[in-house]
Structure 1
Amino acid sequence: MTKLRVVVLGLSLSSSWGNGHATTFRALLKAFAARGHDILFLERDVPWYASHRDLKNPDFCRLEFYSGLEDLERYRNVIAEADAVIVGSYVPEGVLVGQWVQQTAKGVVAFYDIDTPVTLAKLERGDHEYITPALIRDYDVYFSFTGGPTLDHLMNHYGSPAARALYCSVDPEAYPALDHEKRWDLSYLGTYSADRQPTLERLLIEPARRAPHLRFVVAGPQYPADIDWPPNVERIDHVPPGEHPSFYARSRYTLNVTRADMIRAGYSPSVRLFEAAACGTPIISDIWDGIETLLQPGQDIVLAQTPEEVLEVLDTWAATRRDALRASAQKRILAEHTAAHRAASMERDLLEAMDRQHRDYSLALEVGA
């Protein structure tokens, strides 16, 4: 097997505080390294992650920090000689970083969009915070958090030569099923987002108001101080990844809430779906196109639109029905959606891009001759 030298410039690997990128990169790159590849992760050194680092010395890749665009010059040679360089979404000064990488790298250059629907909505508004249409055309592969019709849109409308789904996933070793006494009837784990808040209000906060006999929890940073939390909703500011399995194990059910742009695009699963399912915690979720391609509604996951539907599950479902749901979801995720599955997919797509690059180079030589 070909050993690839890969450089990743991502939002964060060292800190999971306030972002879902870190856990996604950790699972994916750990599994990719297990396939024999060499990885250097370059992270912009910013104060809000520097003060919340929960992974300083990964054992699956080299993690190094740079202070800005000029500081990236230290890595010019390693980027030029890498087999593949992957730039992630929301990287600070991502457009300039992407342009510099595309000009510098001799190997395959890819973009990994962990925020695809948000990215496309920004592009439609003319917002080029971290990528432009021109950059999309010049990335050899566009790895997308979103699958389905969005991939065709990236290729047909924006000119990507190869848009490929690369969903987030779970590392089963990091997210085992634990046997803990249940503390909450329904939990939610996620950073505050204004466009998710109405759904959280409808599917957790309102059920909590109506069912004071039940216990709820919302864990995650950046929630505004003026939110009116019912007395039976516990608030936890941050749960580091190492404590996620314990958090899920103490939840009878957990809630999945999807950002509005991702609901509109469909086929945009949250990493929390995979992690909770691997931990054996039954999931109640909002509804979006494509969820049935990952987890079968009614068999692997409960879909809900109203407080009444949530409360029906919490108040009336027998333990046997709940256990069947969680066991089915866990089996499906471990069989199809682990980090090992994603690493194999990314490796295949990178190798195909390398083959295309070599064919194009050979054809150019023939034409030139």
Structure 2
Amino acid sequence: MTSIAFYGSSLLSSYWNGAATYYRGMLRALAGHGYDITFYEPDVHDRGANRDMEVPDWARVVVWEGTHDALRCVAAEAGKADIVVKASGVGYEDDMILDEVMKAARPGALRLFWDVDAPATLAEMQADPDSPLRAALPDLDMVLTYGGGDPVVQAYTALGARTCVPIYNACDPDTHHPVPAEARFAGDLGFLGNRLPDREARVEEFFFGPARMLPDMRFLIGGSGWDHVPRNVTRLGHVGTRDHNAFNRSPRMVLNIARDSMAATGFSPATRVFEAAGAGACLITDYWEGIEQFLEPGEEVLVARSGAEVAQLLREIRPEQAEAIGQAARKRILAGHTYDKRAEQVDALFRAHMAKETA
């Protein structure tokens, strides 16, 4: 059985960890293809105190203290694996983790960087010629990214990556599926997302703006950091993954807002898109290039280019129309965008590389 040592932010907690859904869906599906997975996550940023998942039966999880000694100890275990993965955004000494695990990897092991925030990572490397990741790229076997399409592939290749392949977000239908609506999440429009510098202005435009335009409608916002909101907006704080299905099913519509870098790059659908579609929610998203590759605008998703357009959709779309759009989205996602299908793609990449190494 091929073993994977995966060094990421957290598998067990989604707290300040937007990649949790992606990791869970992707690694569970890879385990189904016969991979023996060990996930190494540091106990930082209160993630350990905010777990929303038990250790699964499809991966081992090693939680390590946020110290240099513990880092070196878990990095040394990379030497036992056939495939060594360093993900972006671990949240503690990312450059040191990359250096230590790749040094520990045994000769012949597949060594890769898995970028779950490619537009932001690329911007940092392009601004810093001395970036440790940038220096390491030519020595890595491949880069996999959360999304980004050709612009991300071209940018990574220009910086020295041997191979770069986007592995898009997807839906795990066992995790994200329709459930009964809950009164605590009832409303006209819901949005989930932590307050981040490169998201704040777009949330003001696409969510708070429409809330002010439609004072008689009810809006809900989940996520950390939202302190001052219009009077018709209910602050929910952190919403754990176990409540995401109910959150997506209860309001008339839910909203996806791309972060600045992802909107600019395009071809970067957030996990929220697939979570919402999997639950059969009627999704409004801000515009980004490539959306039709995943959902058909007007039929499977509603697209708004401004806060005023979000408000107009809220005025026009009746509950029965919203339900029909949500069901069409779920059908499309289950047909072509599940983590099982993404795992088939990754498995083929791994097998092709390992066959080339042994040829």
TM-score range, shorter chain: over 0.9
C-alpha distance in structure 1 between counterparts of 2:292 and 2:218, whole Å: 29
What is aligned with 2:176?
175
* 1:60, distance to aligned residue in structure 2 (A): 1.6
> After superposition, where does 1:200-279 map in structure 2 within 5 Å?
200-223=203-226, 225=227, 227=228, 229-279=229-279
Q: Whole-Å Cα distance in 1 between the matches of residues 214 and 172 of structure 2?
A: 35
Structure 2 residue aligned with 1:34: 32
Aligned residues of 1:101 and 1:109 also touching (Cα < 8 A): no
Unaligned runs of 5+ in 1: 360-369
Matches within 5 A, 1:1-369: 3-67=1-65, 68-75=67-74, 78-91=77-90, 92-106=92-106, 107-126=109-128, 132-180=133-181, 183-223=186-226, 225=227, 227=228, 229-359=229-359
Three-state SS of the structure 2 residue aligned to 1:184 is coil
Give, in whole Å, the separation in 2 of the partners of 1:47 and 1:18. Answer: 8
Give 1:269 shift.
0.8
Deviations 1:235-276 (A, max 9, x none): 011111011001111111000001111111111110000000
CA distance in 1, matches of 2:251, 2:137: 41
Is this contact kept in 1: 2:170–2:338, CA < 8 A?
A: yes
CA contact (8 A) 2:40 2:74 kept: no
Q: From the superposition, tell whether residues 56 and 128 of structure 1 become closer, same or farther in structure 2 (CA, over 3 Å).
A: farther
Q: Percent identity?
A: 32
Cα distance, 1:79 vs. partner? 1.8
**Structure 2 CA distance for partners of 1:128 and 1:171, relative to 1, 3 Å:** farther
Which range is displaced more, 318-327 or 136-145?
318-327
Deviation string 1:181-234 (CA, Å, 9 cap, x unpaired) is: 6711100011111222222222221211121221100100123x3x3x111100
TM-score relative to the length of structure 1: 0.90
Superposed structure 1 runs of 4+ greater than 6 Å apart: none
Q: Could you tell me which amino acid in structure 2 is paired with residue 62 of structure 1?
A: R
- Alignment check: 8 A CA contact 1:95 1:128 kept: no
Unpaired segments ≥5 residues, structure 2:
none
Q: Which has the larger radius of gyration?
A: 1
Q: Name the CA distance, whole Å, in 1 between partners of 2:214 and 2:20.
A: 35
Contact in 2 for aligned 1:111/1:143 (Cα 8 Å): yes
Distance (whole Å) between structure 2 residues aligned to residue 325 and residue 194 of structure 1? 31
Q: Normalising to structure 2: TM-score of the pair? A: 0.92
Aligned length: 353
Kept after mapping to 1: 8 A contact 2:77/2:104: no
RMSD, aligned CA: 1.9
Q: Deviations over 1:57-115 (max 9, x none)?
A: 22221101223343244446642231101110012222222122222212101111000
Q: Which stretch of the first structure deviates more once superposed, 114-123 or 45-54? A: 45-54
Partner deviation per Cα, 1:111-151 (whole Å, 9 max, x = no partner):
1100000001111221877x521212222110111232234
Tell whether the 8 Å contact from 1:145 to 1:166 is kept in structure 2 after alignment. Answer: yes
